[in-house]
Amino acid sequence: MRVHVISDMEGVAGIVKWEQTTGGEPLYEEGRKLYTEEINAAIRGAKAAGAAEIVVMDCHGAGQGWTFNSLIHENLDPACEYVIQNEWTEYTEFLEQGCDAALFVGMHARAGTRDGVMNHTISGRDFQNLWFNDTPVGETGINAALCGTWGCPVLLVTGDEASCREGLALLGARLTTVVVKRGLGSSAARMIPPQRARELIEEGAKRALSDLSAVRPWDPGRPAEIRVEYKNTSAPDALRHRPGVERVDDRTVVSRAETWWEAWKQFYF
């Protein structure tokens, strides 16, 4: 069994402040440790379920040289291999080769979710709303679509209560979720201790991988339309000459293609 672990920092137990997720901040080193150990918990669960190959992809943009490079390398479980990518969603090799399942660890809710801890979508400074064929999505949805492009189902989502609720609404009631905190606002949460969270994630990964057919790969639909509403006008200004991308009003752009992946490449890369 080949398993892809796709991860982010904001949904990790113990993390609730931006300073814990921003490269170079004093609290960032604490965040990195918490993050790496939740990844290790998912790896242990995948190993227990029979995974023969596990590839971890860090999807957290911490800034500067830490972007997609927040894991503490020497502390990672040696049973995995891991990817440091240059652009978000650019690494697809493992999926293209054929991947049995994906586990999403440390996820956060999309921008504008009232009880979503550190809620945002891609870039919290720019993105307000994102839709795939009229379905509102955040980063869980984007990564699920990425996996689904190559027929890989997402079987586990861990994070705060809001991100797990978002995952269930998108991927269905048979998705395994592990809630490690409940948002009291964007920068406040009631949390369980990291050690207990890791135990739950390990067990959740093992349980999720016991039935590879529990969740179908997610396809946003064909033909595909990606619509993005920004918080400002400068971001759509930068896309005004991008082939395949149409500006439909002051703060909104649309990208259309036969498949989600083609529309995404027109818009994002």
Is 90 exceeded by the pLDDT of residue 184?
yes
Condensed to tens digits (0 to 9), the pLDDT of residues 191-224 reads 999 999 999 999 999 999 999 999 999 999 999 9
Q: What is the mean pLDDT of residues 146-169?
A: 98
φ/ψ of 62, rounded to 5, equals: -85, -10
pLDDT given at position 145: 98
pLDDT given at position 123: 82
Is 90 exceeded by the pLDDT of residue 97?
yes
Is 90 exceeded by the pLDDT of residue 60?
yes
Give the separation between CA 89 and CA 75, rounded to whole angstroms: 24
Q: Quote the mean pLDDT of the chain.
A: 97
Task: Encode burial over 245-258: b for 16+ CB neighbours within 10 A, e otherwise.
Answer: beeeeebbbbbbbe
Contact criterion met (CB below 8 Å) for 32 and 10: no
Sign of CA dihedral 153, 165, 114, 129: positive
Helix (H) or strand (E) run with residue 161 in it: helix 161-171
Helix (H) or strand (E) run with residue 139 in it: helix 139-149
* Residue 94: partners with Cβ closer than 8 Å, 6 or more residues away: 2, 4, 55, 57, 83
* Residue 173: partners with Cβ closer than 8 Å, 6 or more residues away: none
Is 90 exceeded by the pLDDT of residue 125?
no
Is 80 exceeded by the pLDDT of residue 131?
yes
Q: Report all structural domains of the chain as residue ranges with CATH numbers, in order of start.
A: 2-125+134-208 (3.40.50.10780), 224-268 (no CATH)
Condensed to tens digits (0 to 9), the pLDDT of residues 23-35 reads 999 999 999 999 9
From 118, 101, 106, select the one nearest 186 (Cα to Cα).
Answer: 118
Is 80 exceeded by the pLDDT of residue 259?
yes
Q: Supply the angle between the helices 194-208 and 28-48 in degrees, to the nearest 10.
A: 30
Give the separation between CA 198 and CA 204, rounded to whole angstroms: 10
pLDDT given at position 106: 98
Give the separation between CA 111 and CA 123, rounded to whole angstroms: 9
Does residue 124 or residue 221 have the better pLDDT?
221
Contact criterion met (CB below 8 Å) for 86 and 156: no
Q: What is the mean pLDDT of residues 48-71?
A: 97
| Structure tokens that stand for 264 in this block | 């995404």
Is 90 exceeded by the pLDDT of residue 114?
yes
Is 90 exceeded by the pLDDT of residue 124?
no
